[in-house]
C-alpha cells in the first residue's frame, strides 16, 4: 500500500484549517496524523508500505519526521491524477494489487486496506468515498489511467467524475463506507466530538492525533 503525503513544511499543509488554526498548529496537527498512520501501517505484515511524498526533494524532511526505516518514493506528475496514475503504474509492476490512501483520515485501519485488497478479487476498482465528494482510498489490480483523466481535483466532484470514468470504461467498482476526512476546522471539530466519546480506545490507536486535538480544543 502507498500513503500519499506532503512534506511537513510550515504554511504548506492543512491550509484549509486556517485562520481557525495558525500555520504552526496546522503543521503540528498534520505531523501528528501522519505519524499515527505511518506507525499503524508500518507494523502490518499483510502488505508492504511505501510513503509517496511531495515535493520530490523533501526526503530529508520525511525521514526526520517519520524515520529512516520506512520505504520512501517521490511522487511523479503535475496534477494529483498524474501522480496517482504514475504511482499505480510503477507499483503494479511489483505487486498484483495496490491501494493508495491519503494522510487525512488517521482512523483508517489495517482491516480497511486488507478489505480493499479482498474486494479486488471481484471488482476492478475499490474506492473509499469521503463526505466532501472526494475519496480517501483507491485500489486497483491493473493500470487504468482513464479513471484519473478529466477529474477536477480538489473539488466535490472528484468521486462522481471518477465513478463516471469507471462506468464509461466498463469497470466494476466497489465502494467502502463513507468517511469524513479531516481537511477543515469543521471536520476537525466533528472528529473531536466523536473522538471525545471514544478517547479511551483511540488514545491507544492514534495517540499523536488525540494528544494534538486535545491540545487544540482543551488546552492540554
Assess whether pLDDT exceeds 90 at residue 42. yes
Cell, residue 102: 491519503
Superfamily of domain 2-181: Spore Coat Polysaccharide Biosynthesis Protein SpsA; Chain A (3.90.550.10)
Q: Assign 220 a pLDDT band (cuts: 50, 70, 90).
A: low
Say if residues 53 and 6 touch (Cβ distance below 8 Å): yes
DSSP-assigned states of every residue in 129-177: EBTTSSEEEEEESS--GGGGTT--TTSTTHHHHHHHHHHHTT--EEE--
Say if residues 124 and 98 touch (Cβ distance below 8 Å): no
Assess whether pLDDT exceeds 70 at residue 40. yes
Q: What percent of the chain has pLDDT over 90?
A: 94
pTM as predicted: 0.95
Query: Which whole-number Å values give the CA distances from 216 to 29, 35, 200, 219, in the listed order?
Result: 9, 17, 18, 6
Amino acid at each position: 500500500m502507498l500513503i500519499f503525503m506532503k512534506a511537513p513544511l510550515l504554511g504548506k499543509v492543512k491550509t484549509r484549517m486556517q485562520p481557525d488554526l495558525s500555520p504552526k498548529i496546522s503543521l503540528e496537527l498534520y505531523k501528528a496524523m501522519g505519524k499515527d498512520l505511518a506507525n499503524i501501517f508500518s507494523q502490518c505484515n499483510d502488505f508492504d508500505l511505501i510513503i509517496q511524498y511531495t515535493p520530490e526533494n523533501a526526503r530529508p524532511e520525511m525521514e526526520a519526521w517519520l524515520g529512516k526505516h520506512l520505504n520512501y518514493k517521490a511522487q511523479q506528475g503535475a496534477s494529483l491524477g498524474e501522480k496517482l496514475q504514475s504511482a499505480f503504474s510503477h507499483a503494479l509492476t511489483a505487486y498484483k494489487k495496490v491501494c493508495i490512501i491519503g494522510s487525512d483520515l488517521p482512523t483508517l485501519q489495517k482491516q480497511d486496506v486488507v478489505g480493499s485488497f479482498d474486494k479486488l478479487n471481484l471488482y476492478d476498482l475499490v474506492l473509499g468515498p469521503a463526505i466532501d465528494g472526494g475519496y480517501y482510498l483507491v485500489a486497483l489490480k491493473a493500470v487504468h489511467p482513464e479513471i484519473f483523466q478529466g477529474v477536477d481535483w480538489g473539488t466535490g466532484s472528484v468521486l462522481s467524475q471518477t465513478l463516471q470514468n469507471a462506468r464509461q470504461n466498463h469497470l466494476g467498482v466497489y465502494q467502502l463506507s463513507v468517511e469524513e476526512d479531516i481537511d477543515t476546522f469543521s471536520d476537525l471539530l466533528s472528529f473531536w466530538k466523536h473522538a471525545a466519546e471514544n478517547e479511551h480506545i483511540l488514545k491507544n490507536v492514534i495517540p499523536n492525533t488525540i494528544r494534538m486535538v486535545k491540545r487544540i480544543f482543551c488546552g492540554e
